[in-house]
Amino acid sequence: MSKHPDISTSFKAIFALLWPQVLMMYVICVMNVAPIWAAGKMSADVSAALGVSMQMLFLLSVINIALNSGATAVISQSIGAKKLDRAKFYVFITLLLNALFGVGVGVLAYIFSGQIFALLGLKGAALDIANELWAVLLFSLPCSFLFNSAMVVFRSFREVIFPLIITIIVCAFYLFFIFKLSFSHFFMGREYMGLAYSNLIAQGIAALLGAFALIAKGHISASFLPFAWLRLAMPKLLKTALHSGATSIVWQAGYVTLYAIVGFLPLHSNEALGGLASGHRVESFIFMVGVAFHMSASVVVGNCLGAKRVAEARRIAAILVFSGAAVMSVVAGILWWFMSDLAAFMSDDGLVQFYIVEYLKYNFLSTPFSIISTIFAGVMIGASAAHFNLLIFGLSFWVIRIPLAYALGHFVWGDATGVFVAMLISQVIQTALMLYVFYRVDWTKYALKH
């Protein structure tokens, strides 16, 4: 860490930061799609159970997302200000907090697991399967927290090759165990449990590799314990983390509510849940690239604002936002013609396939809006202005999307198509609000003061 990272905003520097993250997001996309695909080959009940379980797992990860968002802001801004000692303090705090919260959240979720699934509309065999999967999936949470925080540290220092290599290795192990455990007779009629144990093994390997890589690069040291700096270092990290965490709760809880709305639909609720879960994973093929742009934007904007280059931060943010939206819209346009093939790949059930296509149709149309919102959210995190994300996502999800999804799904269409239409409408409004904040509000003033 003695060598100061390159914080250039040249095309070469940004491309070097971006392309490994794009590849890494596609690898993660494969990891997200693989268990849903495997579940789709088993039954609609397994698809629904795993989809809801994984969505709840994402909801529990909001603390991890929050801490990592705060860490990205303060570490990248400290690097931009050429204060590497302060950056190192934030690295230590980030890893410590993620380890503590990973264990705590997992324990609490296990204690209240019965109450959690009682609220989500799963019925019969799907509910029984979800309870079994959940008990194992929760054990992977602390490992996931640590691995994700390690990747954030590397990204903040613009070291993106290490995370890419580690993610590829973890993906290879994950796929191996999915096929080894889930398509054999190892669990004697409960092959779906192979999906949960594969996730646990993969996350454990990921945490170990992430820790070894941090030690190898010198980003953590057993002899360096900056407890005296906690009082000074914590407030800014926690402020950004609080806003990002609240945004994640708003977003993930909103998706869980959408699952519940679909689960209580009068027609084909379990098949619609399977279609929603599978369609969401296919959509991530596009959305993950937006996440890569999101993460790059947060680091570059943080570097610029840390170095007091406000105009450059605005310019780079706009370039990343609109170039990312343009590229991903082209990809969505190409995939539009293969929706039926994608649905057939994800499930053998005819009704589930129908709802996958319905989901993809409206979410492919929303691609430019969802990508713009995603990258702008990264810009706001890098500027320590994540409260704008909270306000806009909260409004678009809970004031517009949820009520509209319930009305259209239960009273107008009568099936999940109404829910998917509501998602498109809310994305358009959300993007309009983001653009207003970017061009009309001074969001750069919230960065660290030096």
- For residues 149 and 95, the answer to whether their CB atoms sit within 8 Å is yes
Reply yes or no on whether the pLDDT at 224 is more than 60. Answer: no
CA distances from 204 to 115, 161, 199 (A): 27, 20, 9
Sequence-separated (6 or more) residues with CB below 8 Å from residue 383: 73, 301, 302, 305, 313, 443, 444, 446, 447
For the CA atoms of 183, 188, 191, 196, the dihedral, rounded to the nearest 10 degrees, stands at -120
Alpha helices in 307-415 (DSSP H): 310-335, 339-346, 350-365, 367-382, 387-394, 402-407
Reply yes or no on whether the pLDDT at 368 is more than 80. Answer: yes
Spatial distance between the Cα atoms of 27 and 21, rounded to a whole number of angstroms? 10
* Long-range residue pairs from 306-313, CB within 8 A, at least 24 positions apart, any chain: 306/76, 306/77, 306/78, 306/79, 306/80, 306/81, 306/447, 306/448, 306/450, 307/7, 307/80, 307/81, 307/82, 308/450, 309/9, 310/444, 312/9, 313/382, 313/383, 313/444
> 50-98: per-residue pLDDT in tens?
877 887 787 788 788 888 888 888 888 888 877 777 777 778 888 888 8
Better-scored residue on pLDDT, 224 or 326: 326
Reply yes or no on whether the pLDDT at 120 is more than 70. Answer: no
Which residues span the domain enclosing 442? 11-446
Better-scored residue on pLDDT, 388 or 44: 388
* Residue 384 belongs to some domain of the structure: yes
Query: How many domains are contained in the chain?
Result: 1
* Residue 4 belongs to some domain of the structure: no
- For residues 261 and 397, the answer to whether their CB atoms sit within 8 Å is no
pLDDT band of 102, cuts 50, 70, 90: confident
Better-scored residue on pLDDT, 211 or 9: 211
> 314-334: per-residue pLDDT in tens?
999 999 999 999 988 998 899
> 225-266: per-residue pLDDT in tens?
455 555 655 676 677 777 777 887 787 778 878 888 887 887
* Residue 341 belongs to some domain of the structure: yes
* Residue 255 belongs to some domain of the structure: yes
* Residue 434 belongs to some domain of the structure: yes
What is the model's pLDDT at position 16?
Answer: 87
* Residue 420 belongs to some domain of the structure: yes
Dig out the tokens for 300 from the structure. 């570059």
Query: Which region among 241-245, 340-344, 421-425 has the lowest average model confidence (pLDDT)?
Result: 241-245
* Residue 109 belongs to some domain of the structure: yes
* Residue 370 belongs to some domain of the structure: yes
Tally of CA atoms within 13 A in the half-sphere of 19 that contains its CB: 5
Spatial distance between the Cα atoms of 434 and 259, rounded to a whole number of angstroms? 26
Q: What does R_g of the chain's alpha carbons equal in angstroms?
A: 21
Tally of CA atoms within 13 A in the half-sphere of 57 that contains its CB: 25
pLDDT band of 223, cuts 50, 70, 90: very low
> 154-175: per-residue pLDDT in tens?
988 888 898 899 999 999 999 9
